[in-house]
Structures are given as structure tokens and as C-alpha cells.
């Protein structure tokens, strides 16, 4: 019986020792397969919760409104004819045109304009970075690096020009440079016909000899 007890004792003691291994594994540094699976599940759950929380924290800010968003319509490669009493005064082209106010106001980008005289012949050519045409007032405005070249060699450079189709006149309150072969005029403000044959300068800063009409002082 002692031997049997001894054998049983060893067997029981060995079983106890085997039974204690999982307990040491739970509290020690060697987790079981089941514990590893549970740990992996917890890590995945924590990652999903973090992703959800980070997703909720992110807000999408509304984009800034553009000219195209508020326009009645947008036309690429636009062409506009400006007439007066059936007479063609100008033809305006632009890369992009935005129509507003029931299509009575046109905002344009990259503008090219052609002016015509009373006989319908081409007078001068205008270019600018942007422009606006109002069909109600009959006013055309050119803005940004405005350049007007007449057929006889005159050149006008200014930041801003306004064209009145009823009077067939161009005008500006901005600084300008008017040049032609052998002549140059610098000033602020002017009124002229589109081909710059008859120009009235408001204030002359610098001038060379030339037939320029100055206001009476």
C-alpha cells in the first residue's frame, strides 16, 4: 500500500503540478492559446473603437463658394456681340463667361475684344485678364493688364478701362501709358474713342511731342 500510495502520490503530485501550470500561465509571462485569442480579440475591438471615435471626431468643413456656384450659367469659349441701333460696336470673346442677374451681367476671364467704327470696320483690339459686360447699362469693363492696340500702331496700357457702347467711348480713372512710334504719354485718367485718335487726358505726368488734347486749365 505504501508503494501504491507513493505511486499515487507521485501521480497526484504530477497532476497537481500539471494543473498548476495553467494557473502560472494566467499570471505569468507565457499565455495559453486561449488567452492569446482573447487578447487578440480585445486588441481588435479597441482598434475598431478607436477608428470609430476618430471618425466621429473628424468634421468636413464646407468648401468655399466659387463664382461658378452662384452663376445662372457658365459658358466656355464665349462670344458676345455689342451693338447699338443695329450697328456692331464690339465683339467680346473670353475663355470662360459667368452669367448673373437673369443673364444681364456677364463676368469674363481672359478677355479679347474687337472694336468697330461706324462703317463696321475694325478699329482696335483689346486684351485683359478679366472683364464684365452689363446688357442693361451697355457698359463693358476690362480689368487687369488691359492693353488696347489700334490698327495704325497706337498702344494703350492701363489696369482698367470702361467702354460705353452708347457713346462709343473708352475711359478710365487709372494710370495709363499711351505710346505710338516716336511718342509716349503717361498720365492718370482719360476719355477717348476706341482707336485712340481723339484722346482727352485728365492729368499728364510725362509727355513727348504729340497731338494729344489736354483739358483746359
pLDDT tens-digit profile of 173-215?
Answer: 999 999 998 899 999 999 999 999 899 999 999 988 655 555 5
Query: Alpha-carbon distance 148 to 192, whole Å?
Result: 12
Q: Please, what is the average pLDDT of the chain?
A: 78
CB 99 within 8 A of CB 73: yes
In angstroms, rounded to a whole number, what is the distance separating the alpha carbons of residues 89 and 191? 17
Q: Which residues contact 180 (CB under 8 A, 6 or more apart)?
A: 153, 154, 155, 210
pTM of the predicted structure, to 2 decimals? 0.65
Q: Provide the H-helix boundaries in the chain.
A: 2-27, 33-57, 67-70
Query: Is the pLDDT score of 17 beyond 50?
Result: no
pLDDT tens digits, 77-121: 999 999 888 888 899 999 999 999 999 999 999 999 999 988 889
What is the CA 212 to chain-centroid distance, rounded? 41
Per-residue pLDDT, 71: 85
Q: Which residues of 48-85 are buried (b: 16+ CB within 10 A; e: fewer)?
A: eeeeeeeeeeeeeeeeeeeeeeebeeeeeebebebeee
- Structural domains of the chain, ranges and CATH numbers in brackets: 68-207 (2.60.450.10)
List, for residues 54-83, the tens digit of each pLDDT value.
Answer: 554 455 555 566 777 788 899 999 999 998
**How far is 93 from 108, CA to CA, in rounded Å?**
9
Q: Are strands 155-164 and 199-207 parallel, antiparallel or unpaired?
A: unpaired
Amino acid at each position: 500500500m505504501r508503494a501504491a500510495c507513493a505511486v499515487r502520490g507521485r501521480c497526484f503530485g504530477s497532476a497537481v503540478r500539471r494543473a498548476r501550470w495553467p494557473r502560472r500561465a494566467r499570471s505569468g509571462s507565457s499565455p495559453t492559446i486561449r488567452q492569446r485569442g482573447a487578447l487578440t480579440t480585445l486588441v481588435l475591438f479597441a482598434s475598431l473603437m478607436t477608428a470609430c471615435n476618430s471618425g466621429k471626431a473628424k468634421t468636413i468643413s464646407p468648401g468655399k463658394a466659387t463664382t461658378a456656384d452662384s452663376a445662372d450659367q457658365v459658358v466656355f469659349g464665349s462670344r458676345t456681340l455689342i451693338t447699338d441701333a443695329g450697328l456692331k460696336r464690339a465683339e467680346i470673346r473670353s475663355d470662360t463667361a459667368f452669367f448673373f442677374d437673369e443673364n444681364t451681367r456677364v463676368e469674363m476671364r481672359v478677355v479679347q475684344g474687337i472694336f468697330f467704327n461706324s462703317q463696321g470696320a475694325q478699329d482696335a483690339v483689346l486684351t485683359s485678364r478679366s472683364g464684365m459686360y452689363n446688357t442693361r447699362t451697355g457698359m463693358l469693363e476690362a480689368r487687369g493688364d488691359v492693353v488696347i492696340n489700334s490698327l495704325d500702331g497706337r498702344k494703350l496700357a492701363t489696369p482698367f478701362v470702361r467702354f460705353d457702347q452708347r457713346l462709343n467711348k473708352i475711359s478710365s480713372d487709372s494710370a495709363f501709358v499711351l505710346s505710338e512710334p516716336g511718342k509716349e504719354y503717361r498720365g492718370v485718367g482719360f476719355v477717348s474713342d476706341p482707336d485712340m485718335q481723339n484722346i482727352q487726358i485728365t492729368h499728364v505726368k510725362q509727355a513727348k511731342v504729340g497731338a494729344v488734347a489736354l483739358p483746359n486749365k
